[in-house]
Amino acid sequence: MNYDFKTIHPGELYLTRKACKITTLLGSCVSVTVFNRHYRFGGMNHFMMPRQYRASKDKTDYRFGDLSTRALLDRMLRVDSDKRHLEVKLFGGGMVVEALEKANIGEKNVKVAREIIAEYGLTAAAESVQHEHGLKLIFNNYTGQVWVKPIQRGEAPEKSLRTRESRIVSILSSEDGVDLLSEE
């Protein structure tokens, strides 16, 4: 079978009914995959922070786990409302960058993903979370399989991951004069 490939970045989610392999790199960020076993399709998100802290009620700001995970599950359930058909998996929340490790961003991201999944009456069928290294994911939305490769320190993707995580630290600690890294 021929598959399209789709790479998602922080703050994105992707869902399709076409056979596809969705890929991403994770450090402290988290991805949730959702696969519908009955209709054989699925999607994945990639979020940076656990909850939306600002007063803004922008429900499409998928940088935040509470919004992103709800949006992904809601979209899946619009196609097929039978939750028994869904298989959910959880990845990431690692401790790759020291500034994010001190703020427990990875741990908080994993916690909110678990909370939202439970809010929908679901449990994760598999998890690979809170490592001291990054992860490369490839999610086959036709079979539900997720290929997980640890990104060890010193590997080429690790530099890209660290650069991305450093940009995340910069954005989260300076935007609008609010330090999101120190908030609960």
Q: Tens digits of per-residue pLDDT, 164-183?
A: 666 665 555 544 444 444 44
pLDDT in tens, 97-154: 666 667 789 999 999 999 999 999 999 999 999 998 899 999 999 999 999 999 876 6
88 vs 23: CA distance, rounded Å: 16
Q: How far is CA 44 from the centre of its chain?
A: 7
> CB count, 10 Å around CB of 54?
12
Domain count of the fold of the chain: 1
Q: The domain that contains 55 carries what CATH number?
A: 3.30.1330.200
Query: For residue 57, what pLDDT band results from cuts at 50, 70 and 90?
Result: low
153 vs 133: CA distance, rounded Å: 7
Cβ distance 25 to 164 under 8 Å?
A: yes
Owning domain of residue 163:
4-182
The conformational region for residue 119 under phi > 0 = left, psi -120 to 50 = alpha, else beta, is alpha
Q: What length is written for the chain?
A: 184
pTM greater than 0.85 (yes/no): no
- Torsion angles phi and psi, residue 100, rounded to 5: -80, -30
Cβ distance 33 to 16 under 8 Å?
A: no
Residues linked to residue 132 through DSSP beta bridges, in sequence order: none
* 169, containing H or E segment: helix 156-174
Burial profile 2-19: b = 16 or more Cβ within 10 angstroms, e = fewer: eeeebebebbbbbbeeee
Residues linked to residue 33 through DSSP beta bridges, in sequence order: 44, 89
